[in-house]
Amino acid sequence: MYYDKDAARGAEATFLWFTEEVGELAAAVRNGSHKELQEEFADVLAWLVTLANIKNVDLTQALVQKYGSGCPGCGKLTCQCPDSEKP
């Protein structure tokens, strides 16, 4: 939808917009209504997708590759990693 504008803006500037939206999501998580949460989650996802497009990253492929078989740490569909470890 916005690829041409975002590509012209460049990855660095698009990343700044993305981080601004993450900040707005943080505020909505803290004090927002359900509607505000929905809007901010949608904005963050949209900016993440456009940034991936600009950088020629297929997010579906990346997600399947990293998480398609479960947790990358323990390999389980429901993570069994100790709390002290990532994730």
Domains of the chain: 3-56 (1.10.287.1080)
Q: Check: CB of residue 43 under 8 Å from CB of residue 20.
A: no
pLDDT at 68 over 90: yes
Residue 17 pLDDT: 95
Residue 65 pLDDT: 96
DSSP letter at 1 equals: -
Rounded to whole angstroms, the Cα distance separating 51 from 79 reads: 28
pLDDT in tens, 10-27: 999 999 999 999 999 999
Residue 85 pLDDT: 80
Average pLDDT over residues 50-74: 95
